[in-house]
A and B are shown apart, each in its own frame.
Chain A
Amino acid sequence: MADTAIQIQRPGGRPRFRPATAAGRWSLRGVALLYLALFILLPVAAILQRGFGTGLDNLTGALSSFGAWNAIKLTLIMAVLTAVINGGFGTLLAYVLVRFRFPGRSLLSTVVDLPFAIPTLVAGVMLVALYGPSSVVGGWLGRHGIQIAFAPPGILLALLFVTLPLVVRSVQPVLLELDPAEEEAARVLGASQWTTFRKVVFPALRPAITAGSLQALARALGEFGAVVIVSGNIPNKTLTAPVLISQLINPTSYGASGGPDQAAAVSALLFGLAFVIVLVTEKISSRGSGWLKT
């Protein structure tokens, strides 16, 4: 059968061309939705059924035992710090990359994307290589009473490393669209550079900064690879929730007690947080630039 185009007159709109076969459109849509259902919805259903299905008793019971609550608290604190710090530095880097002209600018732009390409585990290894107790920098800091690797600052550095491009890449396109004439006008009218940023630039960037920071927050809550080597995984001190989950599922490899049920309970909680963050981010970004809008 030959595919020909017919013209559909839509009320109040431009005439739209559509391929004649509705079957073709439905098969494409069907494949797309089936793929997403099989690969995303099904696994999600499994975790929700196991995590919440056995009752909330299991959830609270799991959280009160084996330092799970400490692990979740540490993960939350580190993730929020990561989102706030990278919200600030990410915006600064985007501003520098867009507004300033200096030698090595495109190199800096490439370096900012480094965490997108480098395996997260390798990022952790890199941080231990520089800030570990046996390295030059880490040894010097250790003699001055600052411990980074195998302590919370190491976890924070690892999370900052892997989430840095998220904020920069969220803010940069908005800043590029922003007309520098507005800033110049504010400056000409006597506003200081700080006032100009606060009153003119920042309000325009706020949705992008929030969306980028939320992405960083979600990523930091679930990060495993970058953290597992840097943190040292000391229970109740530097053990994060994702590492705890992995220890609960594979008890032989690490030695924490527990099992898949406890792991599913902690996972269901983390997953719920991640899902809320995705929905909020989607709402913010659709109000702004509007990609994937219906």
Chain B
Amino acid sequence: MSTTHTHERPPQLSGAPAPPPRRRGARRQKLVPGILLAVALAYVLVLLLGPLAGIIYNAFKSGVSVVGQTFTQPDVLHAFYLTFVIMLVTVVVNTVFGVIVALTLARDRFPGKRLVSALVDLPLAVSPVIVGLMAVLLFGRGGWFEPFFAARGIQIIFALPSMILVTIFISIPFVIREVVPVLQELGQEEEQAAWTLGASRTQTFFRVTLPNIRWGLLYGIALSAARAIGEVGAVLIVSGAIQGQTETATLLILRSFDQFQDQQGYIVALTLAAFSILLLIGIETFKRKRTREAR
């Protein structure tokens, strides 16, 4: 990581960049960074901050009482509850198995490892809609596993199990991608020391490895949670979006706009956005600590 040779700089070069020997004046020196900064900020304003202001304005346009009414509707409450359950199960499954996969990818050697690591990235590139279709092809009518579950009376499609399955698929990469680099930076010296001193594998993991990767892990968990809450395409296809039953918060937003209940859609969307921003603050904190950890 660190550069091996140090640069001996002439003293006049430290601080501001040296004026070039050409005829360009000092004003141009300040002008170019200023313009670049202004363009970058304008892009962020048009693309991210402006729309954020737009949604806040629209949600509160017809007064705070409408906001209160929205949150007393059983359908809305159920949608948030469902989103929370799906997020919770997804995060737990992907944390446990994500750490195992990360350990395997960072520590183990086996043929085809590069292919496996490409496989881990696949859910980031595959359209969520296609993920939904995959679940339908596996568990839906005429699907590979449909006879097995139908014979046992277990409903997968148009029910919670398939919604959880697709959300797990979509958020698989986050924990793995954040933990693997930390494990690689960390090396194995500390773990080897623990083993040599007689600690078991489990003890070594919980006392040495886990504390060392915790910020990277939390960062990955926060990203998975954000993705699980926001998932819409895959869940729409497998759930059937039955109002009050398999309708998550995002599906409720979709229905609100379909049925011209824009106000309700804006309010639920803003609630999700507010929660995401809280999560984002967590993500930023974990990322900063992880960056320090990796060094």
A and B assemble together: yes
Interface residues of A (CB under 8 A from B): 2-5, 17, 19, 21, 24-25, 28-29, 31-33, 35-36, 39-44, 46-47, 49-50, 89, 92-93, 95-96, 100, 102, 108-123, 125-131, 135, 137, 157, 160-161, 164, 179, 181, 183-184, 187-188, 190-193, 215, 218-219, 221-225, 228-229, 241-243, 245-246, 249-250, 253, 260, 263-264, 267, 270-271, 274-275, 277-279, 281-282, 286, 291-292, 294
Known contacts A113-B280, A245-B127, A291-B184: A228-B254 contact under CB 8 Å: yes
> Is B250 an interface residue when CB atoms closer than 8 A count as contact?
yes
> Is B160 an interface residue when CB atoms closer than 8 A count as contact?
no
Q: CA A228 – CA B100 in complex, angstroms?
A: 36
Assess the B129–A93 pair: CB atoms within 8 A: no
B228: min CB distance to chain A, Å: 10
Interface string of B63-99 (1 = CB under 8 A from A): 0000000000000000000000000000000000100
Interface centre among B36, B47, B165, B257 (most CB of A within 10 A): B47
Q: Which residues of A contact B116 (CB under 8 A)?
A: 33, 36
Contact of A5 among B55, B196, B257, B279 (CB under 8 A): B196
Known contacts A113-B283, A126-B51, A229-B257: A275-B122 contact under CB 8 Å: yes
The residue of chain A having its C-beta at the shortest distance from the C-beta of B184 within the complex is A291
Q: CA A221 – CA B125 in complex, angstroms?
A: 8
Known contacts A129-B266, A219-B124: A264-B137 contact under CB 8 Å: yes
The residue of chain B having its C-beta at the shortest distance from the C-beta of A277 within the complex is B125
Q: Which residues of B contact A4 (CB under 8 A)?
A: 195, 198
Q: Which residues of A contact B200 (CB under 8 A)?
A: 2-3
Assess the A129–B127 pair: CB atoms within 8 A: no
A13: min CB distance to chain B, Å: 12
- Secondary structure at the A interface, as helix, strand, loop or mixed, is helix
> Is B292 an interface residue when CB atoms closer than 8 A count as contact?
no
- Secondary structure at the B interface, as helix, strand, loop or mixed, is helix
Assess the A111–B195 pair: CB atoms within 8 A: no
Assess the B279–A117 pair: CB atoms within 8 A: yes
Q: CA A222 – CA B234 in complex, angstroms?
A: 11
Known contacts A40-B169, A260-B133: A5-B100 contact under CB 8 Å: no
> Is B151 an interface residue when CB atoms closer than 8 A count as contact?
no
10 interchain pairs, CB-CB under 8 A:
A17-B192, A43-B135, A44-B134, A122-B253, A125-B269, A126-B52, A129-B57, A224-B127, A242-B130, A291-B180
Interface centre among B44, B137, B144 (most CB of A within 10 A): B137
> Is B217 an interface residue when CB atoms closer than 8 A count as contact?
no
A33: min CB distance to chain B, Å: 7
Q: CA A191 – CA B101 in complex, angstroms?
A: 48
